[in-house]
Amino acid sequence: METLEAVDIVMIANLVKMIITGSYNSFVSKTHGVDGEQVSSGALKVKMATSVMGVSSIHLLQTFINAANITDDVMHRQLLIHGTFIVGALALAVIDYLHSKSESH
């Protein structure tokens, strides 16, 4: 198993763990947080989006390393998908920031 594949698997496992923990804290737990810490759904969405972006980055790095065996069309599609993940994560972060700023006033 290649090192990048191991990193990819670990990142996906952490993403699944984050989804399970965040869902439990949001929907089941009466305290809505660990050690009194509040967990907002917006912050959870931003964390998940950045984790997906990280997994996409590792996959894109694998593609670049193996570029001799990959067509330009496939590489461009993967870059477009990764760019979409980046824009989505940035949009979620801005929305969460604006939402938390409006709640504090």
In the chain, where are the structural domains located? 3-24+39-104
How do residues 93-102 score in pLDDT, each as one tens digit?
A: 999 999 888 8
Give the span between the Cα atoms of 65 and 75, in whole angstroms. 11
| Element housing 37 (H / E) | none
Q: Give residue 8's pLDDT band: very low, low, confident or very high (50, 70, 90).
A: confident
The percent of residues above 70 in pLDDT, for the chain, comes to: 86
| pTM of the entire predicted model | 0.74
Structure tokens at 57: 């980055």
DSSP 8-state symbol, 31: S
Q: Which of 101, 104, 96, 98 is nearest to 44 (CA)?
A: 96
DSSP E strands: which ranges in the chain? none
Alpha carbon 31 to chain centroid, angstroms: 25
